[in-house]
Amino acid sequence: MNQLFQQVRILDPIASRDRQLATPTERVADILAIDGTLQEVSPTTQLPTDLTIIPASHLILAPGLVDLYSHSGTPGHEERETIASLLRAAQAGGFVRVNILPDTLPALDRASEIFSLDREYRQIAAQIPNCPQLGYWGALTAGIAGKAMTELVELATAQITGWADGREIANLALTRRLLEYLQPFQLPIALYACDRQLRGDGIARKGIAALKYGLPVDPVSSETAALAATIEIVAEIGTPVHLMRISTRRGVELIAAAKLRGVPITASTTWLHLIANTSDLASYDPNFKLDPPLGTAADQIALIEGIKTGVLDAISIDHHAYTYEEKTVAFGEAPPGAIGLELALPLLWQHLVVAGKLSAIELWSALSVNPARCLHQAPPTRSILFDPNRVWTVTSDNLNSLGRNTAWLGREVIGKVNCEYSLGTFLASK
């Protein structure tokens, strides 16, 4: 089907260009979609006769989103999330690539496990038009304690995204050995900096709010002590690393200083840490229990500024579905994590772009082209349409994820990806 999108707003994060805000020669445009490619209509463009005209002045056309790391229920916890439900949730949220962490059951610590999961993915993808690509992080360490390396060479044969555990590594000596061993592979390595001994039983970031609500506190040093040590190891070994789940103001400062002295790191924070903070724990909603915990208001401001300045390269979703029974318990007893693939873009748009804290380009870059760069991948070529003004209510019936563990269940959200139209290759920057 040939389609003409009239007066659509174009976001081009590759060229850092927003047509709505640019000069009169870089305005909103009519976009012609023919046979999986998109082109801007000019006075000399020959329009096909079999053309469906779509008024699109309320829509944004931009590259699809890329999620650095999320969690799959398959294999082992299909009651939480299946590959099919994960992919449909990702598609509904505008994601064209999703990369899952290896904390499945069994874990993705062998090439055979990844080959098996990839076969299942390909069977499902054949049934979902424009299905998102699924990538797999191979496990760095094996076992519950994570004290030994996996068969890293074998895992490399499975065409993994890179290596990550999604949890802290047992000790710094092991971290050092891993970075030495993996240096020749030149694949992404993602590390989560957390000192569990310093954290203890803390479930809320230390500050006035945590004390007010009577929640065991997690000191900032549980992140920053591990982060500083990891940065020093990376600086010594020289193996590039992506630092996951940065959640504190001091963490942002450490990364900024490390980048200034040339340490080969990239870093990300999660979407919920950008739109919520410890004051949201007043409700004791277990869907706000995260790992790492939500930061203070000062942490939140620093994280947003980190995205704006590029100190933090990307925003991850860290989507983690749980069953109703698992999550509907007291705050302190709930497992950490929340769903987000379908909610991240509209909520980030409202909290950050509409509120004037980030530009549209800054947000889109952090969700699309920058995550791809962190993964050593080309920018996404498939496009999505986003309606920033569409109002909808989050219900069990309209979520694609099997998980319902979100604080926005039953609440009104503004902004929705339009999946009605099949779009192709994003316009090349001019």
Better-predicted residue by pLDDT, 15 or 22: 15
| Residue 311: partners with Cβ closer than 8 Å, 6 or more residues away | 252, 255, 256, 259, 267, 305
For residue 23, pLDDT over 70 is answered with no
Average pLDDT of span 37-62? 84
Residue 161 has a pLDDT of 97
The pLDDT, as a whole number, for residue 24 is: 40
Residue 269 and residue 192: Cα distance in Å, rounded? Answer: 11
SS3 309: helix
> Domain-by-domain residue ranges, the chain?
63-383+393-410
E strands, 19-109, in order: 29-34, 37-40, 51-55, 60-63, 65-70, 95-100
Strand intervals (E) in 144-208: 148-149, 162-164, 189-192, 204-205
CA distance 202 to 278: 13
Distance, in Å, from the CA atom of 65 to the CA atom of 371, rounded to the nearest integer, reads 9
Q: Check whether 419 has a pLDDT greater than 90.
A: no
Instruction: Tell me the per-residue pLDDT of 94-128, one tens digit each, with 9 for 90 and over.
Output: 999 999 999 999 999 999 999 999 999 999 999 99
137 Cβ contact list (under 8 Å, min separation 6): 69, 99, 100, 101, 102, 108, 160, 161, 162, 163, 164, 166, 190
The pLDDT assigned to 144 comes to 67
β-strand pairing of 148-149 with 141-142: antiparallel
Residue closest to 354 by CA, chosen among 323, 326, 388: 388
Question: DSSP state, 167?
Answer: S
**191-214 mean pLDDT:** 96
Could you report the per-residue pLDDT of 179-199, keeping only the tens digit for each? Answer: 999 999 999 999 999 999 999
Question: For residue 46, what is the DSSP state?
Answer: -
pLDDT of residue 374 exceeding 60, the answer is yes
CATH superfamily of 63-383+393-410: Metal-dependent hydrolases (3.20.20.140)
User: Could you tell me which of 67, 60, 140 has the C-alpha nearest to residue 389?
Assistant: 60
Q: What is the DSSP string of 122-161?
A: HHHHTTSTTPPEEEEEEPSEETTTT-EE--HHHHHTT--S
